[in-house]
Structure 1
Amino acid sequence: MSLLRPRTLSDRYARTAYLFLLPAILFFAAFFYLPIGNVVSTSLMTGPQADEFTGLGNYAQALADPAVRHSFLVTVAFAAAVVAGSIVLGLGLALALDQPLKGRVAFRVMLLVPYLTSVAIVGLLWRNILDPELGVLNRTLSSFGLPEQQWLNTHPLLTIAAITLWQSAGYTMVLFLAGLQGIPETYHEAARIDGADAWQRFWRITLPLLAPTTLFVSVMAVISGLQAFGQAYIITNGGPGDATDLSVFHIFNVAFRTRDFGYASAQSVLLLVVIVAFTLIQLRAGRRGEVRH
């Protein structure tokens, strides 16, 4: 009986900690690890019911499929635009709203509202705004004598990337704002005494010390960009043609329109591997350039 009792105070703390962690462990096991295991096992099967074992056949088919490669390239381009835009837009807004301006708190709240809105609502909203015939944006252009635009036909991928940036701008702004407020003001005061102007202070002090925040923003933007689905499904339906055929949207079509769940699962696993690889590369590169103070 004595073997079951904690021998030291640290053992009791450890058991108490694991007891509190148990609900989270069970949650992740039930809704994260088990579904991943199910997808991996399904990816080894084929047939309408995914009941015929095919081994790595689905993976070989996916790697050789031109449609899968095209979808992946479209997704990478979309994610690259989202990452670059998130850093530039989020940092720009944070720098502007870090100044002692009147109403800056209200502006911060307004910028956060789109982020707190679901992708479905944002997609429906912008699909109506960008409608070539009834959309308010083209009506506004016409009222000023400007030519109307086919927003979702000329540059559809950039359009949905811009909508994604509009929705996430408040979130990235808050992250960069927290990073800016964590930089000691004494660094800037010392730079001013040495004669550094605003650009030199930004380039040599602010930007290097924001490296951890920039790394976090870029990692989250890559993950969300590679997993994007609602933008293509609601706003463009993957079109025109396959111009916005993002990877998750392509996997959705394979699974629920062609009913090939094994092949769709294999593509999902490959996408997961790509996301993990991109994340690890970013983390390793970011840690090398991280500035400590």
Structure 2
Amino acid sequence: MVTLSAPAKGERRQSQRPGPGGRGVARPGLGWALPATLFFALFAIVPLALVAVLSFTSWSGLGSPTFAGFDNWTALFHDPVMIKSLWLSVLLTVLGVAVQTPLSILLGVWAAGPQRNRAVLSAVFFIPLLLSATAVSVLWRALLDPNFGVPAQARWLFGDGNLLGTRTGAIGVLVLVGAWQFTPLHALIYQGATRAIPTVLYQAAAIDGAGTVRQFFHITLPQLRNSIITSVILMVVGGLTTFDTVLILTQGGPGTDTTISAYYMYQKAFKGFDFGAGAAVALLLVLVATAISLIVVRISGYDKMAGTKEGL
């Protein structure tokens, strides 16, 4: 008779899972995460730390940086253009989330279905995802040209055709271009998540008499909760760090009406040769993006749900 003894006090029991032969196999140790950790530290943590240090210096790009204390940060919060750029970044991000989220959910759910020619149509729609942001911006710049673009051919709809000449028009174009390019990415996320939903849920709902719309709101959307959180966080980070689209389409104009924080950082560092101030703007963007992402996770309750799953 074999007696199983309980682990001694202070001894940690190693969790095991059955292997191919039925024998217990220990979970991978922390050593497996070492390569990814080193890669992340080398290309993310170290550059971020260097930017943080640079934000407290004065450097024109030549010679050695000189310590400036909190001068860059003080000037930053007293600069009306910087405050305006931050609000514009948040505005574009909110508008991007509001436009892209419902479109990507509907497209992703549709693409996960068995419709005829679904695969071909999905592939066509996902083409913008294969293009670089620079190519997309140049394309839309030509399409929206007030002299020979689409607005010039439909002045009854666009007036003088200079959409990028007004604040409302320029912001609307930036939101449209961002949605056109990145909605397919988030639709792919929802497509994969929708296909992972057990079909037995829809079968049971159909037996109870639930139609397509009711199944969507009572089964599909709740099951996509985690994917929605992930998608929104990606949109927030992408929206706050948008740069090349603004550089090519509006260059911060008209005036400073589309000078978002990332473009303002470019102006400070690479046009004004004040890399210390540019680093301060970059670090502030990182803090804002992190704070908004944490707020999204907190409001959604994803952290509590993850903790409950770990406890199980």
TM range (shorter): 0.7 to 0.9
Q: Distance in 2 between matches of 1:14 and 1:186?
A: 37
Q: Is the 1:251–1:264 contact (alpha carbons within 8 Å) kept by the matching residues of 2?
A: yes
Q: Distance in 1 between matches of 2:88 and 2:157?
A: 31
Q: Which has the higher contact order (CA 8 A, sep 6+)?
A: 1
1:60 equivalent to 2:70? Answer no
Q: TM-score, normalised by structure 1?
A: 0.86
Q: Is the 2:96–2:179 contact (alpha carbons within 8 Å) kept by the matching residues of 1?
A: yes
- How many angstroms does 1:31 deviate by? 2.3
Q: Is the 1:211–1:290 contact (alpha carbons within 8 Å) kept by the matching residues of 2?
A: no
Change (3 A) 1:131 1:60: same
Q: Is the 2:112–2:192 contact (alpha carbons within 8 Å) kept by the matching residues of 1?
A: no
**Residue equivalent to 1:27:** 39
Q: Distance in 2 between matches of 1:11 and 1:159?
A: 54
**Residue equivalent to 1:138:** 151
- How many angstroms does 1:101 deviate by? 2.4
Q: Is the 2:72–2:277 contact (alpha carbons within 8 Å) kept by the matching residues of 1?
A: yes
- How many angstroms does 1:25 deviate by? 3.8
Unaligned segments of structure 2, at least 5 residues: 1-24
| Alignment of structure 1 residues 182-193 onto 2, 5 Å | 182-193=196-207
Q: 1:172 aligns with which of 186, 191, 194?
A: 186
- How many angstroms does 1:147 deviate by? 5.3
Alignment RMSD (CA, Å): 2.7
Letter in 2 for 1:173: A
Q: Is the 2:145–2:152 contact (alpha carbons within 8 Å) kept by the matching residues of 1?
A: no
Unaligned segments of structure 1, at least 5 residues: 1-9
**Residue equivalent to 1:248:** 262
Instruction: Considering fraction of residues, name the structure with more helix.
Output: 1
SS for the counterpart of 1:252 is: helix
Q: Distance in 1 between matches of 2:28 and 2:286?
A: 36
Greater Rg over alpha carbons, structure: 2
1:90 equivalent to 2:100? Answer no
Change (3 A) 1:30 1:140: same
| Alignment of structure 1 residues 147-162 onto 2, 5 Å | 148=159, 149-154=161-166, 155-162=169-176
Q: 2:123 aligns with which of 90, 105, 109?
A: 109
Q: Distance in 1 between matches of 2:142 and 2:268?
A: 28
- How many angstroms does 1:272 deviate by? 0.7
Q: Is the 1:46–1:52 contact (alpha carbons within 8 Å) kept by the matching residues of 2?
A: yes
Q: Is the 1:87–1:218 contact (alpha carbons within 8 Å) kept by the matching residues of 2?
A: yes
Give the percent of matched residue pairs that are identical in Structure 1 and Structure 2. Answer: 28
**Residue equivalent to 1:4:** none
- How many angstroms does 1:214 deviate by? 0.7
